[in-house]
Structure 1
């Protein structure tokens, strides 16, 4: 039987170093790796192909990232899971966001619940990389809804890729409302898809206030890609008090916690 250790032994020193680097950083471009190891991009691509074929890493546009070895649930299942909790979160966010505000909403079933709760607001300007969010809000009178360009992901209607990230970086808005797949005990914000992570990072960087929306199931849930830490968040909106073991990280980061 072949073990993970046996597979690692088949890697070259450079391939092992690339694997360790990406496990630490979450993503690296081919150009960055070629410069770091003083080899051609063609050589790095061969290394990347070997690592991806072995299941250690995953190819993304322009580079390599972590594989989704802990797979997210199917979109239909995610939308049905904890729907009551997501509705509560949406209602709380609607109380925070005033009329005539500008905001980002990223991909996710919780941000979709937020969009549904915002339909009675007036004169909102919304920038999103989610077709479902855009569909919910685009028919509202007085709303301006702008959608990122790029490849539409099947299933959840998310728009990912470099074009989407560049689009999001072109705004400076009042609120950045982001969903997440998991929150680690040390305060790390986690997700499954590095392309989605980069979009969330663009939103965080260009929002005056960041609102993290996460139901109780997200606390302690594992995912492979790191968005950042709780220090990037101004307000956490959730459906019940966070577990005690997460309170130190929340206090240290100065996050305001809102729940029913």
Structure 2
């Protein structure tokens, strides 16, 4: 995405449905330019056109995995490096589904003595390149679009363990600290991961604020550390502070 695309999306996430004329005024470009930007972002399923304007797309379906993997990659890498730097050698981890989590696994490749349980085949493939890390893969149904493993068998598998740190990702964060995702089967696995982790670390970039996924995963009060790339929106900052969550910002 271009910097203008990011500004456009950030405005809609903060203010909701917005007209083309309003976006053109705010960004200082012509309405023709905004319409072209909207078409490109709509093709990427990052925006949806409504009568009279544009807004956040459906709460029912997530953005395609390949598109998510490329979105805000620089921010995801910074978040991943910072989170990995706080993982001590010899720790036990569960890492769930998500593109930021996959970047965390890359950042853990130099660690020693880790034992990592995951329901993400991409994470397992990455960390299997580290001879000093033992990787345990959960059983269950493999979701084709992102190689995530979900289902009842996955939940039962996760409940066999008690680990030092659960590293999770989410699809959306409400201003009151509610954590959201799209697939209820994935949500149930993540809930089991949180229950079986002595500490829960959430890794998510700023674009997750204002994304309205359909399924409630839990509350930020269940999280110990939150790694992100920008300061929190004011309302969310209040919710995080009240919940006692340690917010760690991977600044540029």
Q: TM range, normalised to the smaller chain?
A: 0.7 to 0.9
**Number of the residue aligned with 1:115:** 105
Q: Structure 2: give runs of 5+ residues left out of the alignment.
A: 1-57
| Correspondent of 2:94 among 104, 111, 115 | 104
- State the secondary structure of the residue aligned to 2:147: coil
Q: TM-score, normalising length from structure 1?
A: 0.73
- Alpha-carbon distance, 1:69 to partner: 4.7
Mapped partners of 1:183, 1:69: distance in 2: 13
- Alpha-carbon distance, 1:251 to partner: 0.7
**Number of the residue aligned with 2:5:** none
Residues 19-52 of structure 1, C-alpha deviations (whole Å, 9 max, x = no match): xxxxxxxxxxxxxxxxxxxxxxxxxxxxxxxxxx
CA contact (8 A) 2:96 2:167 kept: yes
**Number of the residue aligned with 1:203:** 193
Determine whether 1:190 maps to 2:187.
Answer: no
CA contact (8 A) 2:105 2:126 kept: yes
**Number of the residue aligned with 2:150:** 160
**Number of the residue aligned with 1:175:** 165
**Number of the residue aligned with 1:77:** 67
Mapped partners of 2:232, 2:60: distance in 1: 23
- State the secondary structure of the residue aligned to 2:216: strand
- State the secondary structure of the residue aligned to 1:257: strand
Alignment of 1:30-109 (within 5 A): 69-109=59-99
**Number of the residue aligned with 1:59:** none
- Alpha-carbon distance, 1:141 to partner: 1.0
- Alpha-carbon distance, 1:139 to partner: 2.0
- State the secondary structure of the residue aligned to 2:75: helix
Mapped partners of 1:240, 1:169: distance in 2: 34
| Correspondent of 1:230 among 220, 229, 234 | 220
| Correspondent of 2:236 among 246, 250, 258 | 246
List 4+ stretches of structure 1 deviating above 3 A.
none
Counting matched residue pairs gives: 193
**Number of the residue aligned with 1:35:** none
Mapped partners of 1:193, 1:201: distance in 2: 12
Mapped partners of 1:81, 1:255: distance in 2: 26
Q: TM-score, normalising length from structure 2?
A: 0.75
| Correspondent of 1:259 among 211, 225, 249 | 249
Question: In angstroms, what is the RMSD of aligned CA positions?
Answer: 0.9
Mapped partners of 1:69, 1:253: distance in 2: 26
Say which one has the larger Rg. 1
| Correspondent of 2:138 among 148, 158, 177 | 148
Determine whether 1:214 maps to 2:208.
Answer: no
